[in-house]
Chains A and B, each alone.
Chain A
């Protein structure tokens, strides 16, 4: 019990809490919502996207953390872009070579991981200032934080839009499916409601930040 209480004050605990809830990239920082809206109408797409983004966050954070003492301040943004773009292209090649079905399902959105603000955000805010071991954990926590929010949204949208989860029929055929849930506006509704609930649960209000 004492050990558990002490754990609350370790850096490891704080890093994972930041990524998963207190500073969750989507519901608290509201970063990376373009992909959260675009590919969350099916759970399998959300899982694949989550895995790809998690890999890119961890990989880019690790590389940047390793070379953080050599990066000239003036070109640090360009450095992040080169590292991130390189990793995304590697993911693209790997998907095309080993998971062609997944690659065709995700289509253009794999390339768009480059523009995912979470990846850039973690590089600038964390990886450039912290040692490799914490950086790896931070990347993992943020990746999982991103993935589970995507999957939650996707579960709601897939059930309402298609009556299925992971392509298994959940609702009876007679249920009138909502076309709007399949397109981006449906994603906005679900994401908005989710942000409200999550912020209420974590007691995170903007007023507190400014007060």
Chain B
């Protein structure tokens, strides 16, 4: 009995000690982690509209240059100077969520900038979806009639973009994430109160 008691006391002390340590580490880092996440989204949007900022003043620059429009649950960011728009997209890839930002010119059709902030695709294959050199292929494409990500993209068609070699399913997922979120945000934008 005393041996059992000793075991129980040991487990209780161990569990409590580690919970306390983890709780304090979480409390200490929570603010920084949240700041990093905000920085990731806002700095990507600022990059899209070629605004200059530093890690110290990005939040101020963002407030000054971007207007945040909330329509129902959707958030659309408008660049006050050019009228370009941006939003955060997310959806499921092959292995896990894919999340990022996409920016358009003021027509809300022509892609200006795409960045993937979070993905869990196969490193080196589907993972290419987060690489800037790949995402830059999307610049200039038009999403008005839906984007087509294909292995033999026709350079003359402005809604076709090259797929990732060896990662057909990631390419397909990425295509539908972009198309679905675009549709959603564009519809909300067109029907917003006081819209043009």
Give residues in A with beta carbon < 8 Å to B.
38-39, 41-42, 45, 70-72, 74-75, 78-79, 82-83, 86, 89-90, 93-94, 96-98, 100, 104, 107-108, 161-162, 179, 182-183
Instruction: Identify which of A70, A93, A97, A161 contacts B124 (C-beta below 8 A).
Output: A161
Instruction: Spell out B's residues near A (CB within 8 Å).
Output: 3, 6-7, 10-11, 14-15, 18, 21-22, 25-26, 29, 32-33, 36-37, 40, 96, 117-120, 122-125, 165-166
Secondary structure at the A interface, as helix, strand, loop or mixed, is helix
Instruction: Pick the residue among B26, B117, B125 that contacts A93 (CB under 8 A).
Output: B26
With A and B bound together, what is the CA distance between A211 and B120 in angstroms? 46
- What separation, in Å, do the CA atoms of A86 and B18 have in the docked complex? 7
Interface of B is mostly: helix
* A41 touching B10 in the complex, CB below 8 Å, given contacts A72-B3, A86-B21: no
**A74–B22 alpha-carbon span in the complex (Å):** 25
Q: A75-B10, A86-B18, A86-B22 are in contact. Are A42 and B124 (CB under 8 A)?
A: yes
Residue of A82, A86, A96 touching B36 (CB-CB under 8 A): A96
Q: How far is it, in angstroms, between the C-alpha of A70 and the C-alpha of B9 when the chains are bound? A: 11
Asked if residues A82 and B29 are in contact (CB atoms below 8 Å), the reply is no
Roughly how many angstroms separate A96 CA and B34 CA in the complex, as a whole number?
A: 9
Question: With a CB–CB cut-off of 8 A, which chain A residues contact B14?
Answer: 79, 82
Total A-B pairs in contact (CB under 8 Å)? 70
Q: How far is the CB of B113 from chain A (nearest CB, A)?
A: 18
A39: chain B residues within 8 A (beta carbon): 123
Residue of A39, A70, A94, A107 with most chain B CB atoms under a 10 A cut-off: A107
Distance, CA A97 to CA B35, complexed state (A): 9
| A108 & B96 in contact (Cβ 8 Å cutoff) | yes
**Chain B residue at minimum C-beta to C-beta distance from A79:** B14
* Minimum C-beta distance from B160 to chain A (A): 23
Please name the residue on chain B nearest to A106 by beta carbon: B123
Pairwise interchain contact A78-B18, C-beta atoms closer than 8 A: no
Provide the residues of chain A in CB contact with B117, threshold 8 Å: 104
A100/B166 contact (C-beta < 8 A), A71-B10, A90-B25, A161-B124 known: no
Is the Cβ of B123 less than 8 Å from the Cβ of A45?
A: yes
> Please, could you name 14 A-B residue pairs with CB atoms under 8 Å apart, sorted by A?
A72-B3, A75-B11, A79-B11, A82-B15, A83-B18, A89-B22, A94-B29, A97-B29, A100-B40, A108-B96, A108-B120, A161-B124, A182-B125, A183-B124
